[in-house]
Amino acid sequence: MVRKHNNQLPENLPQLQNLIKKDPQSYHEEFVQQYQHFQNTIEVFQLAPNQPNKTLDELVMFMAQVAQCYPKDLQDLPQQVINIMQKHNTVLDNSVRMNLCKALILLRNKNLLAPTDLLELFFQLLRCQDKSLRQFLENHIITDIKNLNMKHKNAKLNTTLQNFMFTMLNDTNSRAAKMSVNIMIELYKKNVWNNAKTVNVIATGCFSKITKVMVASLKFFLGKDPEEKDSDNSDSDDEVDPKEVMLANKFNKKTRKREKNLSKVKKLAAKAYKKKSQAPTFNFSAIHLLHDPQGMAEKLFRQLESTNQRFEVKLMTLDVISRLIGLHNLFVFNYYSYIQRFLQPHQHEVTRILQFAAQSSHELVPPDVIEPVLKTIANNFITERNSSDVMAIGLNAVREICARCPLSLSEELLRDLAQYKTYRDRSVMMAAKSLIQLFRNLRPELLHKKDRGRPTEATGEIEKIDYGKVNVKDYVPGAEVLLNEEKDNEEFEVNSESDSDDEQWVNVQHSNDEEIDSGEEEEDDSDEEMDDDVEKDHETSERNILKAKKTKKEDLEAKKSLARKVTVDRILTDEDFKRIDMANVRKHLQGPNKGQKRSIELENTLKNKDDLVKLGDIENIYKKRKHDKQTRVESVRKGQEDREKFGYKDGRVNIHCSKTNREKSKKKNFQMIRHKVQGKVKRSFKDKQIALRNHLIKLKKMK
């Protein structure tokens, strides 16, 4: 006889949990019964902690769900679960360990457990061989700290957690140290811990003995994704088209291996799509928050000289050092001699090394230190024994270095490099012209007179560059344009209001009327006065040159005083700065006489000096790009226009006359002319001999 279960509460934990949350007092007895069962289950479980226990999983989650209903009865529950985890953390079954962690997180969300106690336990659990658990714990720690600082930042708690992270960063366990770095980097990217203390703690990871920690810290300062990718995934796997694999799997025989490959390709395709859709993240501001950039650069360089790491890790270190030197104007003179040994065309990643050389250049570096680097680039790259691409890259690297340290290039070397402006290859020619254009705006006196170009309004304002000289101005250069625009607007309004024709006429008089009159009188004189006229003309030309120099200086001083007046008298807006920038650009294009403009693009005339060198600026090679299939087809179609139809050309003068049998056979069915084609098969040499003999015998008989 089957017994009916009228009361199923002791066995149905979800139903009991729901009822307890509604009315805790009414179901206290049932709770006490389950709590005793939970304690007994723990005692049995500790006898064999490595075995899975489904009953314990259900009971511990039940206790965590109703913990806020009976705080006095369950006040020791968090510590009891923590003790089990600390005692058997590496021995526990994966499912049991995961459920215990979820129960602790549930208690933490109900504020029944301190965050520092839970963090300490979770970092100890990183020694377990369970990758899914480690990922789960990392996501929880990041989310928990983010939620703690959602409304307002808890400075005291953040300081405690950051100190704990710092101690875990120096932990001997590689997984714990790597996880602490990842958490701090992720919190910095989420603008939770974006202060200087976090950045300087991550900076200590650059000197860690654990390679993964060091690489993650270096990538953080390079602005890349700190998450380490699997090195086993080759480039060919990422380029596999998922549609082709799915189509092949649809028609081929279905096997486990093909299904596994299909799932792998789908994951790679989803990963690539997600990577393309995400916006790039840059952490260049983190370098500005370092307390001691000079000490960090020197320490990194000493570590680089004595390290045995892979070449990729050395490149990361070189990149970080170059950014530190360029952004903070540091002095690490041995860095340039170290990087000089890698400046060879056959060197792996040589364009990135040239980028590092340019990034580490700034105006305060002595020219004698960078000059050997430029000579090495010129000797190894800019020679006719190399290809045109190598020469162009070398010229681009010299240009980027000189843009940041213009005193490092000597006059002799600059004039030698400027001669490549007439090189036969376009890429080398354009690279040499860009170098010439740079020195036209910085140090035109080093160029040959024919390479300085037509003088512009901006060339008169170029000041001589001296080492260590700081050009500080108390005004915004070019601000006088705002006054000129106001005057032009006022004149336009006055002219539009005046309707009379008299005001529109302006009498123009010659400034040299006296010279013209005197010239008319001198035409009647004799040739004896020619020598006196030559002497007078020479004197007047010298006076005109002196007057022109004085007027140029006076104009510059007048413009400076107007710009200083505008800067002091008014508050400049964004629109005003845009007008000033456009006016400064026009100075580079406009000659000293208004209306004479040079046909040079704005992008090439003025090149803004960025803090970091772009790799594309060095690898920028001017070449005719290859067309894709669509553009090639369009060009072919365009070339076929107005052209006779290709194919067999009919040689008849009159198209209405008959054709030959040979022409007609081209349109006949092959079955009709097959018997004729068979006779045209190539004969052997013996058959030709027999045919020739029969022909000669036939000729003799005819005679």
DSSP lists the bridge partners of residue 590 as 597
Lookup: tokens for 122: 């979770």
Q: What confidence score (pLDDT) does residue 626 get?
A: 66
Whether 226 maps to a domain, the answer reads no
Whether 533 maps to a domain, the answer reads no
Averaged in consecutive runs of 10 residues, what is the pLDDT profile of the chain (703 residues)? 49 85 88 90 89 90 90 89 87 89 90 84 82 88 86 81 83 84 89 87 91 92 56 43 65 74 77 60 72 94 91 94 93 94 92 94 92 94 92 94 91 92 91 90 85 67 70 72 64 51 43 42 46 52 54 69 75 77 65 45 43 82 73 84 70 80 83 76 84 92 81
Please identify, among 461, 479, 504, the residue that sits at the C-terminal boundary of a domain: 461
Are 36 and 165 in the same domain? Answer: yes
Are 247 and 349 in the same domain? Answer: no
In 88-234, which ranges are continuous DSSP H helix? 94-109, 115-124, 131-148, 155-169, 174-189, 196-204, 211-222
* pTM score of the predicted model: 0.66
- Round to whole Å and give the CA distance between 477 and 647: 69
**Domain range for residue 364?**
333-461
**What angle is formed at CA 670 by the lines to CA 666 and CA 671, rounded to 5 degrees?**
145
The secondary structure of 624-649, three-state, reads CCCCCHHHHHHHHHHHCCCCCCCCCC
CA 476 to chain CA centroid, Å, is: 32
Q: What confidence score (pLDDT) does residue 290 get?
A: 92
Are 179 and 250 in the same domain? Answer: no
Q: What confidence score (pLDDT) does residue 232 get?
A: 38
Are 188 and 254 in the same domain? Answer: no
- Round to whole Å and give the CA distance between 530 and 540: 15
In 447-529, which ranges are continuous DSSP H helix? 480-497, 513-522
Whether 566 maps to a domain, the answer reads no
Please identify, among 439, 461, 483, the residue that sits at the C-terminal boundary of a domain: 461
Whether 618 maps to a domain, the answer reads no
Are 266 and 345 in the same domain? Answer: no
Query: Does residue 397 contact residue 354 with C-beta atoms inside 8 Å?
Result: yes
Lookup: tokens for 258: 């093909």
Whether 79 maps to a domain, the answer reads yes
- Round to whole Å and give the CA distance between 316 and 304: 10
- Round to whole Å and give the CA distance between 428 and 525: 61
User: How many domains are contained in the chain?
Assistant: 3
Are 268 and 353 in the same domain? Answer: no
Are 261 and 357 in the same domain? Answer: no
Name residues whose C-beta falls within 8 Å of residue 186's C-beta, 6 or more positions apart in sequence: 142, 226
Cα atoms in the 13 Å half-sphere on the side-chain side of 372: 12
Whether 128 maps to a domain, the answer reads yes
Are 70 and 164 in the same domain? Answer: yes
Helix axes 115-124, 77-87, angle to 10 degrees: 20
Report how far apart the first and last C-alpha atoms of the chain are (Å, whole number).
Answer: 132
Are 128 and 260 in the same domain? Answer: no
Are 189 and 100 in the same domain? Answer: yes
Question: Which 8-state DSSP code applies to residue 160?
Answer: H
Whether 33 maps to a domain, the answer reads yes
Q: What confidence score (pLDDT) does residue 518 get?
A: 44
Are 374 and 256 in the same domain? Answer: no
Please identify, among 461, 476, 504, the residue that sits at the C-terminal boundary of a domain: 461
Q: What confidence score (pLDDT) does residue 502 get?
A: 44
**With 0-12 CB in 10 A as exposed, 13-18 as middle and 19+ as buried, what is 11?**
exposed
Q: CA dist 211 to 127, 177, 219, 311, Å?
A: 18, 11, 12, 13
Whether 360 maps to a domain, the answer reads yes
Helix axes 388-404, 350-359, angle to 10 degrees: 20
Are 380 and 455 in the same domain? Answer: yes
**With 0-12 CB in 10 A as exposed, 13-18 as middle and 19+ as buried, what is 538?**
exposed
DSSP lists the bridge partners of residue 597 as 590
CATH number, domain with residue 142: 1.25.10
